[in-house]
Amino acid sequence: MRIDGSGTLRAGCVLCPNPGPMTLEGTNTWILREPGARGVVVVDPGPHDERHLERVARNVQEQGAQVQMALVTHRHFDHSEGSRYFSELTGAPVHAVDPDMRVGGEGLEDGSTIVADGLELGVIATPGHTDDSICLLLEADGAILTGDTILGHGTPVIDGDDGLAPYMESLYRLRELVREHQVRTLLPGHGPILTSPATVLDSYIDHRESRLEQVRDAVRAGAGTVEEVVDRVYPEVVESVRPAAASSVRAQLRYLAVKGEIPEGVEG
């Protein structure tokens, strides 16, 4: 399973050496460039790992190219913390939805098109993992850069108790875009590229709906707290990722309570 150096005609991955339970093999920084063009767009510079950021800058330089801008798919530090240093290295602005993540750059709005030396990227708002999460449609390659909305393997944590409803809507929207634009490849923020987008989106939606049914069953069986639901729904969860499981359960409980499917008191 090759991640570093993988990609499409216009997109290449530089893998940051920050593996972990929440980052999988590490953060994927994507270098995007129209064939024959000089201008480059870098997506998710990564954490403040100077060797990684310098490697990305050097990779661009060795192509005889120049970073025109960097984009951040969401605020989490493993995607954005290195933005300021990367901007200093390259002189390029960093654009993001969250104003705190920008470095001399502008906001990223749903439905807008980013153009850089012939390269075109469509911005897709996909809240859920975070409220500022976006994906990027690289239609010329039949690809979508998914940040942490879709991972190379596993599924992301939902950030915030109210995040599941928008996340489900984001998954449905991505599934429609995959069909509409005949997307062939998903380029995630962590893990390997995915070459069966429709199957992956169906699997993600089925997984979330299945988890919701497990949570419903746990509550029906008497689970009255988040921890009790975690014990029933994630019985083999390791301690290092138990907080993430609890975060997901809180979002699931909130989602079901808002829909009136469980008592609100279970959300505590």
Neighbouring CB atoms inside 10 A of 233's CB total: 20
Q: pLDDT tens across 61-106, in order?
A: 999 999 999 999 999 999 999 999 999 999 999 999 999 999 999 9
User: What HEC string does the chain produce?
Assistant: CCCCCCECCCEEEEECCCCECCCECCEEEEEECCCCCCEEEEECCCCCCHHHHHHHHHHHHHCCCEEEEEECCCCCHHHHCCHHHHHHHHCCCEECCCHHHCEECCCCCCCCEEEECCEEEEEEECCCCCCCCEEEEEHHHCEEEEECCCCCCCCCCCCCCCCHHHHHHHHHHHHHHHHHCCCCEEEECECCCECCHHHHHHHHHHHHHHHHHHHHHHHHCCCCCHHHHHHHHCCCCCHHHHHHHHHHHHHHHHHHHHCCCCCHHHHC
Q: pLDDT tens across 100-157, in order?
A: 999 999 999 999 999 999 999 999 999 999 999 999 999 999 999 999 999 999 999 8
Work out the average pLDDT over 187-200. Answer: 98
13 Cβ neighbours under 8 A, 6+ residues apart: 3, 4, 5, 6, 7, 28, 29, 30, 31, 187, 193
pLDDT at residue 268, as a whole number: 53
pLDDT classification of 265: cutoffs 50, 70, 90: low
HSE of 178, CA atoms in CB hemisphere, 13 A: 24
Q: Which of 255, 260, 181, 265 is nearest to 223 (CA)?
A: 265
Work out the average pLDDT over 215-244. Answer: 90
10 Cβ neighbours under 8 A, 6+ residues apart: 32, 33, 34, 35, 119, 138, 140, 141, 143
pLDDT at residue 244, as a whole number: 84
Contact yes or no for 129/147 (Cβ under 8 A): yes
| pTM given for the model | 0.91
Q: Name the token pair of 64.
A: 């005889």
pLDDT at residue 32, as a whole number: 98
